[in-house]
Structure 1
Amino acid sequence: MTGGTIVVGGNRKGSGSGAKSETIPPSSPLYLHPSDSPSLSMSQIKFDGENYQLWADALRNGLDAKNKLAFVEGTITKPETIEGAEESLEAVAWRQCNAMVKAWLRNAIEVRLHPSITFSGTVPEIWKELKERYSTGNAPRVHQLKAELNECKQAKDQSVVEYYTRLKSL
């Protein structure tokens, strides 16, 4: 498998087209596979404003499989570009990957919640905003869940699998 090719640069005097072709290795988080598309869905679970933890775990798993988890964690940062200088290969690749992961995030969020993330700049900013807003503890809900766990018993007509699934979801 070869790396993803990115064309860097534009027309420069005396150098033909001025564009040079460089590659990103497939093992890099900056690599985009030809099958990667903004319409791709990372998870079948859509975030609806109430299922944050389930959604976040599923999405993190999908992003990890695509080697893009570093974008939501913020551990891969945009390379510095000197004003007036040509963008480096890494800066171009980071910008493209950030845009792709943003699209994947939008695809995993219900449309009614899109306005809340529309103006966030980078993937880590969006992820942090969603986490701060929706993963907060809710004392009354925690109490309710603990009470439901204490009262949870297997019904006579309920299979072990059904009971285990209910118990696990609580």
Structure 2
Amino acid sequence: MEQAGQSSNTYYLQQAEFNNPSSPYYLHPGENPGLTLITQTLNEKNYSSWSRSMRRALLSKNKVKFIDGSIKKPQKDDTLYDAWERCNMMILSWITKTLSPQIAESVIYVEEAKELWDELKERFSKGDHFKI
């Protein structure tokens, strides 16, 4: 009987976490995959300004920890897995929406937001030096 009580408590703690706007796992009802966080489109020449704008936007949504490695992908049997997957897919959609069509097509099979973020940085940060 103790196990059932613990399971129930875990469920309610998780629901409180997911409904807490301060939680990185929280998704506001108005947030959707089609949401445009920034208007700038990433191309081969603007990585520095694009990444800065996107990082700010993700920080304002409390989602930057998904791209910087602070929040790691949980195991499938972890109670946070479904919430992590929802947030990860939302972030992937938001980022992909800001990529040029050619870049978006080249990363369509990337399944994790951090992996996408790292790949874009690797590919485009070298040739783009911020100019004042």
TM-score normalised by the shorter chain: which range applies?
0.7 to 0.9
Q: Deviations over 1:59-118 (max 9, x none)?
A: 001000000001111210122234xxxx52x11110000000000001111112112211
Which residue, 114, 117, 122 being the options, matches 1:127? 117
Instruction: Verify: 1:101 aligned to 2:91, yes or no.
Output: yes
- Choose from 21, 33, 38 the match for 2:33: 38
Tell me the TM-score normalized by structure 2.
0.81
Number of residue pairs matched by the alignment: 118
Which of the two has greater helix per residue?
2
The structure with the largest alpha-carbon Rg is 1
Which of 15, 22, 29 is equivalent to 1:27?
A: 22
Q: Could you say which structure has the higher strand fraction?
A: 1
**Unpaired stretches in structure 1, ≥5 consecutive residues:** 1-19, 146-168
CA RMSD of aligned residues (A): 2.1
Sequence identity of aligned pairs in percent? 33
User: How does 1:135-146 map onto structure 2 within 5 Å?
Assistant: 135-136=125-126
* Residue in 2 that maps onto 1:153: none
Matched AA of 2:120 = L
Q: Counterparts of 2:74 and 2:116 in 1: how far apart (Å)?
A: 19
Alignment of 1:11-160 (within 5 A): 23=15, 24=18, 25-82=20-77, 88=79, 90-136=80-126
Counterpart-to-counterpart distance in 2, 1:50 and 1:29: 31
